[in-house]
């Protein structure tokens, strides 16, 4: 993979709907070459999927998100992989990572309410044999997601301050 491929990946990650012509100008090559490079990156698995980033709060859907941390007993010969595969299958789980630090796995979970997330953790995740401890953190507000700034606020006029 060369610098042109990396440039294409960065630009597509930022906006997967960017026109081929714009990519060709940025990459300093013709559209056919860009198209071929993208096809090869897809075959290689470097490009896994194209997606839209939706601001669900603005769309009027009151989804609740939470970060759930798990302490896990790794399985002999499999480590964390089998429990991670099992957890990843839940539709509520948007991302799952093996982490350093106090907890082993970190999940990003969505649900219709805090109660729904609590029920998911207590009924689906916590009872698993390998799970030793959970910590759930409800997202109160998102300012930036996947490189996209979400919070738009008007300039706050600061009052003069004097002693």
Domains in the chain with CATH codes: 3-44 (1.10.10.10), 64-142 (3.30.70.920)
pLDDT in tens, 12-21: 998 999 999 9
CB 64 within 8 A of CB 114: yes
Q: Residue 83, Cβ neighbours under 10 Å: how many?
A: 22
Quote the tokens at residue 86. Answer: 């099992």
Least confident of 42-56, 93-107, 123-137: 42-56
Q: Residue 70, SS3?
A: strand
What residues contact residue 33 under an 8 Å CB cut-off, 6+ apart? 24, 27
Q: Where are the alpha helices (DSSP H) in 45-101?
A: 81-88
- Is the pLDDT at 1 greater than 80? The verdict is yes
Percent over 90 (pLDDT), the chain: 77
pTM of the model: 0.76
How far apart, in whole angstroms, are the C-alpha atoms of residue 145 and residue 41? 24
How far apart, in whole angstroms, are the C-alpha atoms of residue 104 and residue 97? 8
- Is the pLDDT at 22 greater than 80? The verdict is yes
């Amino acid at each position: 993979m060369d610098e042109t491929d990396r440039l294409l990946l960065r630009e597509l990650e930022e906006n997967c709907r960017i026109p081929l012509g714009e990519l060709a100008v940025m990459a300093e090559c013709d559209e056919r070459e860009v198209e071929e490079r993208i096809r090869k990156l897809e075959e290689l698995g470097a490009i896994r999927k194209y997606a839209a980033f939706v601001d669900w709060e603005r769309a009027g859907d009151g989804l609740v998100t939470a970060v759930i941390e798990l302490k896990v007993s790794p399985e002999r010969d499999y480590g964390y992989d089998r429990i991670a595969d099992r957890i990843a299958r839940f539709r509520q789980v948007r991302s799952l990572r093996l982490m350093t630090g106090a907890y082993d796995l970190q999940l990003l979970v969505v649900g219709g309410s805090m109660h729904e997330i609590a029920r998911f953790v207590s009924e689906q995740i916590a009872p698993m044999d390998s799970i030793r401890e959970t910590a759930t953190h409800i997202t109160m507000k998102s300012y930036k997601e996947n490189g996209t700034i979400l919070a738009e606020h008007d300039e706050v006029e600061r009052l003069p301050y004097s002693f």
